[in-house]
Chains A and B, each alone.
Chain A
Amino acid sequence: MIPASWAVILSALLFAIGLFGLLSRRNAIAILMCIELMLNAANINLVAFSRAVTPQELTGQVFAIFVMAIAAAEAAVGLAIVIALYRNRERIVVDEVDLLRW
């Protein structure tokens, strides 16, 4: 059986990659994808800890399903924003979207 620590390391790597992408990518679609990465890193953690701590119950797995549902909703909202952005500016570079400044 694969020990839990491996799953945690994988999850941490995935999360770090997602975070890096989130902070450094300029394309809005790519940023959304990075967010998905980070959510999925969390899912791996949920499942891995559920297997390691309470193998008889499926609590972690149910949480992961919920997270996926929320991620789908989040992606729908995010893509809607990106589409609105594109309609306005014909570009989806987030560096240029700085209207919330002082």
Chain B
Amino acid sequence: MLELTPLIPALPLAGSALIACCGRRLPGRGAYPAIATLAAGWLISAGILWQSLARGAHAPHWERSIIWAPTGDYVLRMGLALDGLGLAMLLVVTTVSLLVHIYSVGYMHGDPRYPRFFSFLQLFSASMLMLVLADNLLLLYISWELVGLSSYLLIGFWFQKPEAMRAAKKAFIVTRLGDVGLFLGLLTLFNAVGSVAFRDIFAAVETDLATTMVSFTLPLIGKVVWPLAAVAAILIFFGAMGKSAQFPLHVWLPDAMEGPTPVSALIHAATMVAAGVYLVARMYPVFHYTDHGSVALAFVAGVGTVTALMAATIGLVMNDIKRVLAYSTVSQLGYMMMGLGVGGYTAGMFHLFTHAFFKAGLFLGSGSVIHGTGTQDIREMGGLARRMPHTYRTFLLATAALAGIFPFAGFWSKDEILLDAWLHARWVFYAGLAGAVLTAFYMGRLVIKTFLGEPRRPDIHAHESPPVMTVPLWILAFLSVTAGLVNTPWGPLFHHYVSFGDAPAPPFSAGVAAAGTAAALLGLLGAFAVYRWEWVSAATLKRVFHPLYVLFANRWFVDEILYALLVKPLFAVCRAAFAFDRWVVDGLVNLAGWLGLALSRIQGWLDRWVVDGLVNLAGYTVRGTGWLLTRLQTGLAQTNVLLAFAGLAALVWLLVYR
């Protein structure tokens, strides 16, 4: 089964090319082959899991590489590798991708560019699967950029909408900003280690990367001396910040909602944002270069915490159903980074694992709502529970999982993150608790406003979506309930596959679990108090906390600050460059043109009057001479005689007197 691993990314890649070429003539206009490739990938992943479970839950170890580019004495190898972390990611990506593919058959029904959509989806899945399986940083980087490209194509899929086009560009450029860091990190490691293979890099961390110190000056902080590993790790983390939407590069993710909803589900659950978290997990040895405190991990934890809290507060006040979910994703990604940052390697990845299922469920559920009502504004919804029972129930289950209610999936993973935070960094723990309250609150608000109460717009006749959409919802709802059970304190199966070093799972703490549950319940209670029972009206809250409301509703002004700090100077540079181009470069080019023209004029004049003149002169000379000679030919006999005698006289004169 392990030998079939390369097929997992290869099949969707081939599918993408095939559908791009002749999608309209394939069965289901390209949808069925697309689903088949991912079903095959899922079956292979499940088979690998089954085999390893049968052998006593030992994580698989498999790798194959080929010589890619022998350059001088350095040989670049490319290959695939599979371990426990990779297997967990494979299962998440293939499951969610497969369900999204199936769901899209219903959601994209009737779209004029239907085959193209599936071609892009396939490319997206294939690049993510390749990213997960890469055995070296370079292949990972290539897949990383492919993920970025396909997300751009899919977010801007409805490119006739200007907002979609803008969102696609924003997503691409903002993540690009982080990718620069990733590439610099890659180069740093390659320069220090002389190889891009993970195995060589991790071996080097053990020996010299952690002890080689580099000193440089940072703005605001001043001169610092850090191990090379920390520098590389932080640079790599910039890439993760872009892809995984961490503050301050999270601004692209909410805008990415302009794409079709299945794409949002894919981006938010399995393919795009998971890549950043996966990257940190994959490069964890570089981040965790020493056992006692790492600058890089502290940075990860700090950024994660800030992101988690900030995004959660914004989620409180958004009115677009998909935007609430988008900020929820940003916040949960912050949670994952937080978990990784405080040393909870398994916890962070476990949260990624469970989050993928319930967030995909939530997004596909929101897609179903949008499909049924034709609006995305939750102020226009309400009372959908009766009209869309399947969507409502699955949405509710996924919400419970996200809020972290026992025993749904989110509870187990969030609890683990909080536990690790409690053990290693108390301030992160309290921030995490606050985040949990906010999460439960905004999800409660979303469910109440969307599904409960009375319909606010009587003119909207909501209808339930077709089974091709609700069946994936139910599968995801089932996984939202059960996915957490793979890593309970009593059966840490996930831990066997995904763990860093030989660290045992941290002991279960009833206190932390109680605190987490209490936070979730508190948040839900608050949501019900405000939006269902209306003990305090939302308008009053808005008035009392007006400055905070303004701050949240304007998304902490991050967009504006980034615009002022980055985009405006960039535009200024662009304008300067444009002016330079226009006046100096174009001026030089025009000058050259004018000079050429003037020279040609001179040359033309010379040609016309001197060269042509000489040629004409020859002609005129011949003609003139001829004309003169014709004067001799009078045709009169007497002239001839005269000339004959004149010649005779001349001859005589010559002979006699000379």
Interface residues of A (CB under 8 A from B): 19, 22-24, 31, 94-95, 97-102
Contacts and interface: CB of A to CB of B under 8 A. Distances in A.
B633 interface: yes
Interface stretch (B42-50, B233-241, B579-587, B635-643): B635-643
B634 interface: yes
Given A23-B641, A101-B634, 13 more contacts: A22-B641, A23-B638, A23-B642, A31-B638, A94-B636, A94-B637, A98-B634, A98-B635, A98-B636, A99-B635, A101-B635, A102-B630, A102-B633
A101 B629 CA distance: 12
A97 B635 CA distance: 7
Tell which of A19, A101, A102 has the most Cβ of chain B within 10 Å.
A102
8 contacts: A22-B641, A31-B638, A95-B636, A97-B635, A97-B637, A98-B636, A101-B633, A102-B630
Contacts of B635: 97-102
B578 interface: no
A20 to B, nearest CB: 11
Tell which of B630, B633, B636, B645 has the most Cβ of chain A within 10 Å.
B636
A98 B641 CA distance: 14
A18 B398 CA distance: 144
Contact of A94 (B633, B638, B642, B645): B638
Contacts of B637: 94, 97
Contacts of A102: 630, 633, 635
Interface residues of B, number: 10
A101 B641 CA distance: 15
A68 to B, nearest CB: 22
Contacts of B638: 22-24, 31, 94
Interface of B: 630, 633-638, 641-642, 645
A94 B641 CA distance: 13
Nearest to A28: B637
B641 A97 contact: no
Contacts of B642: 23
Contacts of B634: 98, 101
A31 B642 CA distance: 13
Contacts of B633: 100-102
B646 to A, nearest CB: 10
A101 B637 CA distance: 10
A38 B633 CA distance: 25
B207 to A, nearest CB: 109
Contacts of A100: 633, 635
Contacts of A101: 633-635
A60 B505 CA distance: 160
Contacts of B630: 102
Across the A-B interface, the 5 shortest Cβ-Cβ residue pairs: A101-B635, A98-B635, A100-B635, A102-B630, A102-B633
A18 to B, nearest CB: 11
Nearest to A95: B636
A38 to B, nearest CB: 10
A22 B636 CA distance: 12
B434 to A, nearest CB: 119
A99 B641 CA distance: 16
Nearest to A101: B635
Nearest to B637: A94
Nearest to A25: B638
A79 to B, nearest CB: 15
B636 A97 contact: yes
A31 B630 CA distance: 25
A102 to B, nearest CB: 4
Contacts of A23: 638, 641-642
Nearest to A96: B636
A31 B640 CA distance: 14
Contacts of B641: 22-23
Nearest to B642: A23
A46 to B, nearest CB: 19
Contacts of A98: 634-636
Nearest to A26: B638
B214 to A, nearest CB: 102
Nearest to B645: A19
A22 B641 CA distance: 8
A102 B632 CA distance: 9
A14 to B, nearest CB: 15
A97 B642 CA distance: 16
B516 to A, nearest CB: 124
Contacts of A19: 645
A24 B641 CA distance: 11
Nearest to A100: B635
A49 B543 CA distance: 158
A57 B623 CA distance: 59
B537 to A, nearest CB: 122
A73 to B, nearest CB: 19
